[in-house]
Structure 1
Amino acid sequence: MVSFWAALSTEGRWLLSTVAIQTLGRGLTLPFTLIYLHEVRGFDLGLSGTLMALIAIVGLLVTGPGGALTDRYGARAVLLAGITAMIAGNVLLAFATTPLAAAVALVLIGFNFGVSWPAFNALIAAVVDGDLRQQYFGINFALVNLGIGVGGIVGGLFADVDRPETFTFIFLGDAASGLIPLTLLLVPLRHVHGRAERPADLDAPAASYLAILREPAVRWLAALTFVAMFIGYGQLEAGLPGYARQVADVSTRTVGLAFAVNTAVIVVLQFSVLSRISGRMRTRVMIVMAAVWAVAWGLIGLAGLAPGGAVAIVGILGFMAVFALGETMLQPTVPAMTNDLADDHTRGRYNAISAAAFQCGAIAGPVVAGLLLEQDLAGLYVALMVLGCAAIAVMALVLERHVPDSANGATPVAERPTS
């Protein structure tokens, strides 16, 4: 960690040093937004769920334009717009008493989610390169989890449905956390625009999304990302809690503890994993990650075979711990490969494609999980997840044949030949 910090530029240190504090605000509200809409504001549960879906829907719709705007105007400008929308959305949501006001607020939050993801990754890539970039993405992921985890604990201790003002305070706290990155971008990082002009010696037309997607490496990486999100984060939000309660028959306390275990494993192991995967082919790391996730889903299946007892509890907690180990391999490799595939002037669009694949998987995952669990097809559900792990391994092998060695972590990016 000391050598990593020493190798970072001043801009990289500014970006990384405040990540956990920024995401603490998100952790304050993430687990409690649905509860707030339904139990505090009195909206029907179905309407509350539909309102929550606006975040993902709007985020997906604006991801493409957000990537193009990042390439045209720079990551800093897009981030400023996204963060401003997030702050306004949380302030509005804190006082929203009607579905229309809540919808507008959630649209603003979704807008930030969609445009900030590719812009932030592009900004990171603009100030960090080489193997340091992979380490940066991994450490950033650990700090994000730390901030959200601590925020969730604080929010859980503070929020009380019998005291609506406590929810107002946590949403205002989330808005206030946005002032930190806003200040960073306006003061110490005001010179880091994250925009690169297209080289004048390139005769080919400017890269469009269609042109980028014609690259086999991009297509396979996007497909792998979609499947990883479908069987991964898409299940953490709905599939895992549903399976844990309906099939494994464990308490809500166990489910909450499982998420705490997930966060703890990521924070504790991310640094060690980064040192072990440094210099190794990223596609091979993805294959190991797929195998680790297959073991995790096997533990879920074990929990379902002995519901309501100690075996079920161990299975659920074990799943989240082992799954977290796989996350520490996935999160450094996919963003680093995405940015190493891109040229400086197309980085926003490459990151937007990756973000869109992530969001599609995260949206489709809960839908499929809900349908299978509703039909009491728990065995098929687990089998589908394990099959998804096998598909990731196969796609990683195919991807390896198409991705340049430089983007696969085999050689330094500085040595990559220009095309």
Structure 2
Amino acid sequence: MSAATVSRSLNPLRRWSLLARFAGLPCVAQLLLLTQLAFNLGFYLVVPFLAVHLADDLAMAGWAIGVVLGVRTFSQQGLFVVGGALADRFGTRPVVLAGCAVRIAGFVVLAFAPTFPVVLVGAVLTGFAGALFSPAVEAALADEGTALERRGTITRAELFALFAICGELGAVAGPMLGAALLRVDFTLTCLVAAAAFTAILFGHYRLLPGIPARSSGEAAFAGWGEVLRNRAFLVFALGYSAYLVSYNQLYLALPVELQRATGGQWALGWMFALASVLIVVGQLPLAAWARRRLGAARALPLGFGLLATAFAAVSVSAPTEPPSGSFALAPAVALVTCLTFGQMLAVPVAQDLVARLAGERRLGSYFGFLSSTGGLAVLAGSAGVGAMLDRAYTPTPDAALPWVVMAILPTVGGVVLWLVARRTPPPAT
């Protein structure tokens, strides 16, 4: 009996169990999954509380805090393409190790930074570190997923789903631990995060194999030319950026809706907890169902349709006075639920499609370019959406406008990805 047959014969509950799937993976795949958990744990220990530290402990002005947070985001998301190209040129292992070392340095700088310029240096270091190791880890995971799918252990899309779950577990645990440590001192919080990344660094040094460079002997950024000549991928990246802009509205538009509905932000933490629970419980079975029953050409437009539905649901209620009691939260719950299910359905399938569009080559450059494109789209889209969201604080007819515009964006993105997916050959079986 083949490995694929054995996998299909397992009890569905076992197939979808996170622990069962994780335990059945080889050491390298487990390391990469735990890496994502540890990355997010260390990251969310510090970054959600950075603004509070800058305002309360260092008495920085609002503009300065905005500059620090904006530079940190751009130095990571905008430079992913650099990290991906370096991973293709030098291999994933040295780039991951370098990224861990840079983030350790960034957290140490933030721990003791007394002034705005020094804080800015720490923010750039922490951001650029993510630009180094994230595309490298995703490329290594795609390589590992290809090998495991050929052996019938797990599909690559399902491995990316496990990757998302592990990241979400870290994103949940990080802020909880960070909030506890912040009661003692922000310096301690940063040092604990630095210690976590030190452990990651040594773990990868000992366990991560030296995956050969994909473009050894070429210029470090030679892969960019190949990416820019791949028209199908460029169209895919533009369509996929609609997801990144849409999901970013959990941080930008959701607080506005909660303010309209309840007059405050007391429910914001519960909304993020809802998203995390949905991902941890539902990501793996939903990704498996999408991969086996739908395929990319149907899963992607369906997922993006759910993103559009999230904003359409709020647009219906935005012009009206909110009801009393817990019913006022219904549009926000619909927004979070549809966005989360749309993400769970579309993203693992999309990440698998990236590797196929890339011809299984230069995956670091491709994943890096995808993230950088999304980062620029979020930067531009958030500015435009933020300006329109001023209309959504009070229940007037104009309040529906920003939500309608946000619903149109993933609708168009879903159509674009559907066109790309239906023209892309299916994975070999």
Conserved in 2, the CA contact under 8 Å of 1:306 and 1:312?
A: no
1:226 aligns with 2:241: yes
Can you list the C-alpha shifts for 1:268-324, whole angstroms capped at 9, x where unaligned? 111221221123321311111122222222332345333373333122123212221
What residue is the counterpart of 2:48 in the other structure?
31
What residue is the counterpart of 1:321 in the other structure?
337
User: C-alpha distance in 1, partners of 2:365/2:358?
Assistant: 9
Number of aligned residues = 396
The answer to which of 122-131 and 133-142 deviates more is 122-131
Q: How does 1:52-201 map to 2 (within 5 A)?
A: 52-129=69-146, 130=149, 132-160=155-183, 165-189=184-208, 191-196=209-214
What residue is the counterpart of 1:417 in the other structure?
none
Tell me by how many angstroms 1:106 deviates: 0.3
Conserved in 1, the CA contact under 8 Å of 2:297 and 2:422?
A: no
User: C-alpha distance in 2, partners of 1:343/1:199?
Assistant: 20
User: C-alpha distance in 1, partners of 2:277/2:199?
Assistant: 25
**CA distance 1:358–1:6, shift in 2 (3 Å):** same
Q: 2:299 aligns with which of 281, 285, 290?
A: 285
What are structure 2's unaligned runs of at least 5 residues? Answer: 1-16, 393-397
User: C-alpha distance in 2, partners of 1:264/1:387?
Assistant: 27
Tell me by how many angstroms 1:178 deviates: 0.9
Tell me by how many angstroms 1:103 deviates: 0.3
**CA distance 1:207–1:46, shift in 2 (3 Å):** closer
User: C-alpha distance in 1, partners of 2:223/2:205?
Assistant: 30
What are structure 1's unaligned runs of at least 5 residues? Answer: 201-205, 413-419
1:337 aligns with 2:353: yes
User: C-alpha distance in 2, partners of 1:193/1:75?
Assistant: 6
Q: 1:241 aligns with which of 255, 263, 271?
A: 255
1:366 aligns with 2:389: no
User: C-alpha distance in 2, partners of 1:18/1:60?
Assistant: 19
Conserved in 2, the CA contact under 8 Å of 1:139 and 1:271?
A: yes
Runs of 4+ in 1 over 6 A off after TM superposition: none
Tell me by how many angstroms 1:230 deviates: 1.3
Amino acid at match of 1:392: G
User: C-alpha distance in 1, partners of 2:105/2:42?
Assistant: 14
Conserved in 2, the CA contact under 8 Å of 1:94 and 1:167?
A: yes
Tell me by how many angstroms 1:84 deviates: 0.8
1:268 aligns with 2:289: no
Conserved in 1, the CA contact under 8 Å of 2:42 and 2:194?
A: yes
Amino acid at match of 1:359: G
User: C-alpha distance in 2, partners of 1:400/1:208?
Assistant: 23
User: C-alpha distance in 2, partners of 1:300/1:112?
Assistant: 37
The answer to which of 113-122 and 358-367 deviates more is 358-367
What residue is the counterpart of 1:384 in the other structure?
405
Conserved in 2, the CA contact under 8 Å of 1:117 and 1:355?
A: no
Amino acid at match of 1:150: A
Conserved in 2, the CA contact under 8 Å of 1:20 and 1:143?
A: yes
**CA distance 1:312–1:68, shift in 2 (3 Å):** same
TM-score (norm 2): 0.85
SS in 1 for 2:362: helix
TM-score (norm 1): 0.87
Q: CA RMSD in A?
A: 2.4
The answer to which of 102-111 and 23-32 deviates more is 23-32
SS in 2 for 1:187: helix
Amino acid at match of 1:149: V
**CA distance 1:169–1:241, shift in 2 (3 Å):** same
Amino acid at match of 1:228: Y
